[in-house]
Amino acid sequence: MKVLMHGLLRSFNFKWLLVLLPFMADISRADQVLANTLEKIKPGIVAVGTYMPKRNPRAVFFGTGFAVGDGSVIVTNAHVIPPKLDAEHLEQLAVFFRRGGASKAVLARELALDKDHDLAILKLSEGQLPPVKLGDVSSVREGQLYAFTGYPIGMILGLYPVTHRGIISAISPVVIPMLKSEQLNAKLLKRLKEPYDVFQLDATAYPGNSGSPLYDIDTGEVIGVINKVFVQESKENVLSKPSGITYAIPVNYVEILMKSKVMN
């Protein structure tokens, strides 16, 4: 009897193994594809913040950005940029990254700002970074798997970008009509006049991820800019506590901003 049961168990496990092998192979392939893509685009992803010579620490960063165009232009969220710099103490915008095991800082200046879509474009004072390629937003579908890379908790984790992946769980308006008129405010009314769709993800981002590129795992093409603050305050303003939902601004608004302000 024991011999018979052992034989049945072995047969059962073998059959399940045959079923699982293709699935395991797909997962392994997906992991390898993402690893290759990440290796290609990570050099163009930076932390965005400010540099002050006599401050301790001299470098402080608030979010993430990524290089586009010729590599001297950085895309991030508008809310990542401080509204005012301490010019008296020589505070300047800067981006930070690691190269060859060492931390690097490059000063930057604000080139263009789009507060309606919470986007900002910076120009490096010197040098170029490997740029990412902007993708086609019209091809994005709910259920598709994407990844984003950035600095989720700012300076706490240092200059070591972190990668998350998740599906596009919904494509929905940046703001939806409120059930009660008292829930409306001037900011929401303005966005209701000119609504646009944003990508909702089932992966968790953190405030430091603001400005991270959301990209196609296979090609590395960026289709969105992670936004943890601007969109959330519109879509979830009636909640006492923010949800764990992550949003991204479609990258076509980056292209529009670059054509109107950068290329001219």
For the chain, the farthest-separated pair of C-alpha atoms sits apart, in whole angstroms, at 87
Distances (CA, A) of 243 to 57, 128, 150, 159, 172: 32, 37, 20, 27, 16
pLDDT for residue 153: 82
Residue 114 pairs in a beta bridge with 119
Residue type for position 222: V
Q: Are 135 and 221 in contact (CB under 8 A)?
A: yes
pLDDT for residue 100: 85
CA 128 vs. chain centroid, Å, equals 21
Q: Are 198 and 119 in contact (CB under 8 A)?
A: no
pLDDT for residue 262: 65
Residue 66 pairs in a beta bridge with 45, 75
Residue type for position 31: D
Name the strand (E) or helix (H) holding 75: strand 73-76
Whether the bond between 57 and the residue before it is cis, its omega within 30 degrees of 0, is yes
Q: Are 124 and 85 in contact (CB under 8 A)?
A: no
Please list the pLDDT of the chain residue by residue as tens digits (264 residues).
555 555 544 555 555 555 555 544 454 566 799 999 999 999 999 999 999 999 999 999 999 999 999 999 999 999 999 999 999 999 999 999 998 888 999 999 999 999 989 999 999 999 999 999 999 999 999 999 999 999 998 777 788 999 999 999 999 888 755 544 555 555 655 555 667 899 999 998 888 999 999 999 999 999 999 997 666 555 555 444 555 678 999 999 999 999 987 655
For the beta carbon of residue 258, count every other beta carbon within 10 angstroms: 20
Name the strand (E) or helix (H) holding 252: helix 252-257
Q: Are 137 and 127 in contact (CB under 8 A)?
A: no
Joined tokens for residue 138: 């019209």
